[in-house]
Amino acid sequence: MYAEEELMFDIGIFAPFGADHARNIAYCRDAGASHIVLNTGQISSDNAPAAAALKALADQYASADVVLAGLTPPRLSLDACVDDAARSREVGYLRRLIEDMGHAQIPFVHFYLSADAAPSDPAQRQTHWQGLVGIFRELGQIGEDAGVRVSTHTFHVSDRLIWNRETFAHLMAATDSPAHGLTFCQGKSQMAGDSLPDTIRHFGEKVFMVHVRDIATKAQGPTTPEVEQRLADLGYLEVPFGQGEVDMVGTIRALKEIDYQGQIYPEHFPAIAGDRAAGLAWTIGYIRALDQAVVL
């Protein structure tokens, strides 16, 4: 049985209804989610959201016992790694955002790097890498000063600067800061060829956020042209949890082994009869059941 004194993981979600915060709150209440992450575009379309606006929004969620746990800013471009003007513009935006998040006590920047491929030329790639390291060192200091942590999501293909356990470990070693950590994504780690439990154990307290999803790289049973096209374009399918190739049990067990204190976030999941909110609710139920079932 599940030990009575053992706490279950908190569930976080990415705002299912965008900027409709009242509806997001109602969904969190009904589905049992305690934390939420918003995109900065759902708060301000032009500039980094102001501290007062962020504080009011965080208070609105807190009044319903929901923690506004993080914000997702625009991706960091590859240009910012090598172009001074782009770096000044993008890091300047992130500085304002992180400082204002600190005032509003929003703990995490939910951070993505550019989805574009890095240069294949080794010298150019090294130049981009050094630029990325410089940016992360700067962001680390900004985050430390503001009391905000930067949780970075990796990729899964080798033409990106950060794409697997090894490359992310190199980045963490080169930019040593308590403000830097990993958004562990089951799908990306699976497709990168990393062992999911070993990756979690390796990074330990540097695992700041966890994305759960299940994928299949081969279709099971009859397919449709849409499925075949997605496999051709992406190389994988999003499938209901427990029906794909991801080690769901091993992931939960490893998170318990490192005494993970963050939230579990359903990321990609199939809709139910075209209803994404229904698919998310099913997914939350699966996570809750798996959490109860896996004991150390």
pLDDT tens per residue, range 71-84 = 999 999 999 999 99
89 and 33 in a common domain = yes
Q: Torsion angle of alpha carbons 88, 157, 284, 108, nearest 10°?
A: -20
Please report, rounded to a whole number, the percentage of residues in the chain having pLDDT higher than 90: 84
Residue 1, pLDDT score: 34
Q: How many domains does the chain have?
A: 2
pLDDT at residue 2 in the model: 39
CATH number at residue 288: 3.20.20.150
pLDDT tops 50 at residue 65: yes
Burial of 24 (0-12, 13-18, 19+ CB in 10 A): buried
221 and 147: one domain? Answer: no
Host domain of residue 232? 213-245
61-65, 133-137, 231-235, 258-262, range with the lowest pLDDT: 231-235
Q: Are residues 117 and 222 in the same domain?
A: no
pTM: 0.93
Q: Would you state the pLDDT for residue 208?
A: 98
Residue type present at position 109: V
